[in-house]
Amino acid sequence: MKPVIGITSYNVKSYEMGTDRVRGLEGQDMLMTTHDYIKSVSLAGGIPIVIPVINDAAYIQEIVEIADGFLFTGGSDITPYYYNEAPVSGLEKTNPERDEFELRLIKSVLEKDKPLLGICRGLQLINCYFKGSLYQDMRGERFHSINHTTRALPKHMINHSIKIEKDSKIWKIFNEESIEVNSFHHQCVDKLADCLTVTAASSDGIIEAIENTSYSFVVGVQWHPEMMIDHYPNQLKIFDYFINYVNSRK
């Protein structure tokens, strides 16, 4: 049987969709994740299952038993409370319900040492879980040579290059010193958690990939490879490597 990969999501409240909503009925909340994640996992040979936000200990334990690996996806800003900071100017919408649920899910995943891949917010969440912190709005910091937040480009479009550290999982995936990536984030790692290692970075110093070698597979990437696979097939290598690794542990 193919490996089952749990993909995180978030609940979109009815009021967030306004009065001119195109799906569901008034008063209905919706489960949301982008299909790019589902497609990438499927193409790489996994069975994608989307995980609803249900902040219940028994439910979380059951999900961790069912799935063979976990993909923590992108989304809203992480609530600063979870990395011991007060909100600053530039912080965008947060989802504390999702934050709390996913931090509890990470804990349970790591207790079972099941493979974990984080993308964009997922990388940031891994860092917060291990007691690191974030720039709440990097646009107000020292990062100005590259626009990491632009919405002017198509989702797959290359934004900048990153340098990859040898002897890392990202190096094993691409076997290249540098690759080109897209970029759709306004938050990034500030203080890196002590147990994490930087495995790729952009020219302006943004941490673009991390891993924790104390576990079998804990990897985070800041860009969105799932958005690039149709135009840059090499980006599927991340999912191929992840799924193959998960499969090898079954």
The CA R_g of the chain, rounded to the nearest whole Å, is: 17
Q: Annotated catalytic residue: which of 102, 120, 128, 160? A: 120
**Known catalytic membership, residue 185:** no
Q: Considering all CA atoms of the chain, what is the largest pairwise distance in Å, rounded to the nearest integer? A: 52
3-class DSSP state for residue 69? strand
Count Cβ atoms within 10 A of the Cβ of residue 2 and give its class: 0-12 exposed, 13-18 middle, 19 or more buried: middle
Answer whether 234's CB lies under 8 Å from 179's CB. yes
Q: Annotated catalytic residue: which of 26, 111, 224, 231? A: 224
Pair of tokens at residue 54: 């249900």
Q: How far apart are CA 48 and CA 81, in angstroms?
A: 31
**Cα three-residue angle 26-32-35, rounded to 5 degrees:** 130
Alpha helices in 157-235 (DSSP H): 169-174
Q: Annotated catalytic residue: which of 102, 208, 211, 226? A: 226
Task: Please tell me the total number of residues recorded for the chain in this structure.
Answer: 250
**Known catalytic membership, residue 160:** no
**Known catalytic membership, residue 180:** no
Q: How far apart are CA 187 and CA 178, in angstroms?
A: 22
List Cβ neighbours of 210 (8 Å cut-off, separation of 6 or more): 123, 126, 127, 189, 192, 196, 197, 198, 199, 219, 220
Cα-to-chain-centroid distance, residue 130:
15
**Cα three-residue angle 214-207-135, rounded to 5 degrees:** 105
| Catalytic residue positions, numbered | 120, 224, 226
